[in-house]
């Protein structure tokens, strides 16, 4: 299975440049915001998360920024590599009734890395 | 490799038919989630099971049902299939019942003709 058929916005970036993928969310009550990466033929893969009381979190080559004022989330990828080519989804996590979890995914952005 | 397995990888069937999709979670994970990924709806949460019990329901149609067995594998049953049910169906698993760090399987591509 792959997501190549999805009608998604596309970000084209040259290898070595930095990528910024943006996401708008809707639920102010979400506890966590998460980025997933979906490569062609694979299921989504967890990349990084940020708690709602933070505004920045860094991982390996990735940084997530959270702006709660405008309900905006971004994923920055440093020194983008061909292996970063994928569809990136932001997701909101809102626990329901305290015993179950629910992830709500955004529509996704396709990142194309050009050589 | 996430450790989550799904079978079959591809499934082609006719309208009105019934199919069963199977998922085995990562070793040690008690929660199983089902998602549908279609062209116009993106990735939609369908249902979650934890240790054999249903824990959360999303946008799952009444024609669809799921269960989790004592060995923790799960099956998603889709009946009276319609053309619009054509999609990728993903299973994910996590250790606990309340976790956003979910591990996704490779998916089953269902084509209804």
Residues of B in contact with A91 (CB under 8 A): 100
Neighbours of B96 (CB within 10 A): 11
Per-residue confidence (pLDDT) for residue B20, from 0 to 100 = 98
Per-residue confidence (pLDDT) for residue A41, from 0 to 100 = 87
User: Do the strands A10-14 and A109-114 form a parallel or antiparallel pair, or are they unpaired?
Assistant: parallel
Average pLDDT over residues A62-79: 96
The answer to whether residue A6 scores a pLDDT higher than 60 is: no
Residues of A in contact with B30 (CB under 8 A): none
Measured between alpha carbons, how far is A88 from A84 in angstroms, rounded to an integer?
10
Measured between alpha carbons, how far is A46 from B23 in angstroms, rounded to an integer?
19
- Helix, strand, coil shares, percent, chain B, to 5: 5, 55, 45
The answer to whether residue A87 scores a pLDDT higher than 50 is: yes
Give chain A's mean pLDDT.
88
Average pLDDT over residues A79-89: 96
Q: Do A46 and B101 touch (CB under 8 A)?
A: yes
> Residue B64: what are its φ and ψ, rounded to 5°?
-105, 145
Per-residue confidence (pLDDT) for residue B96, from 0 to 100 = 82
Q: Do A102 and B45 touch (CB under 8 A)?
A: yes
The answer to whether residue A47 scores a pLDDT higher than 70 is: yes
The answer to whether residue A94 scores a pLDDT higher than 80 is: no
User: Do the strands A86-93 and A32-38 form a parallel or antiparallel pair, or are they unpaired?
Assistant: antiparallel
Closest chain B residue to the Cα of A7, Cα to Cα: B39
For residue range A9-41, what is the model confidence (pLDDT) as tens digits? Answer: 899 999 999 999 999 988 888 889 999 999 998
Q: Give the mean pLDDT per block of 10 residues along chain B (113 residues).
A: 95 98 96 90 89 91 97 98 96 86 95 97
Q: Do B40 and A34 touch (CB under 8 A)?
A: no
Q: Do B100 and A103 touch (CB under 8 A)?
A: yes
- The separation between CA A11 and the C-alpha centre of its own chain, rounded to angstroms, equals 13
Q: How confident is the model at residue A8 (pLDDT cuts 50, 70, 90)?
A: confident
Per-residue confidence (pLDDT) for residue A3, from 0 to 100 = 41
Half-sphere exposure of A60 (CA within 13 A, CB side): 2
Q: Please tell me if residue A25 touches chain B, with a CB cutoff of 8 Å.
A: no
Measured between alpha carbons, how far is A111 from A10 in angstroms, rounded to an integer?
6
Q: Which residue has the higher pLDDT, A101 or A25?
A: A25
Q: Which residue has the higher pLDDT, A49 or A95?
A: A49
Per-residue confidence (pLDDT) for residue A1, from 0 to 100 = 36
Q: Do B56 and A102 touch (CB under 8 A)?
A: yes
Per-residue confidence (pLDDT) for residue A15, from 0 to 100 = 97
How does DSSP classify residue A84? G
């Amino acid at each position: 299975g792959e997501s190549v058929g999805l009608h998604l916005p596309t970000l084209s970036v040259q290898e070595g440049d930095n990528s910024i993928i943006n996401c708008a969310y809707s639920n102010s009550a979400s506890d966590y915001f998460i980025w997933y990466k979906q490569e062609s033929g694979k299921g989504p893969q967890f990349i990084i998360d940020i708690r709602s009381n933070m505004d920045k979190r860094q991982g390996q080559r990735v940084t997530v920024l959270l702006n709660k004022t405008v309900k905006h989330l971004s994923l920055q990828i440093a020194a983008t590599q061909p292996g970063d080519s994928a569809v990136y989804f932001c997701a909101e996590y809102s626990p329901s009734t305290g015993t179950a979890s629910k992830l709500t995914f955004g529509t996704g952005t396709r990142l194309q890395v050009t050589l | 490799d996430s450790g989550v397995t799904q079978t079959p990888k591809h499934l082609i069937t006719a309208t009105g038919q019934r199919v069963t999709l199977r998922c085995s979670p990562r070793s040690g994970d008690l929660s199983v989630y089902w998602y549908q990924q279609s062209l116009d709806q993106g990735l939609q949460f369908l249902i979650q099971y934890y240790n054999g019990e249903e824990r959360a329901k999303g946008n799952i149609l009444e024609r669809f049902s799921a269960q989790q067995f004592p060995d923790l594998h799960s099956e998603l049953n889709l009946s009276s299939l319609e053309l619009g049910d054509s999609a990728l169906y993903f299973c994910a698993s996590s250790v606990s019942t309340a976790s956003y760090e979910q591990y996704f399987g490779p998916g089953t591509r269902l084509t209804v003709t």
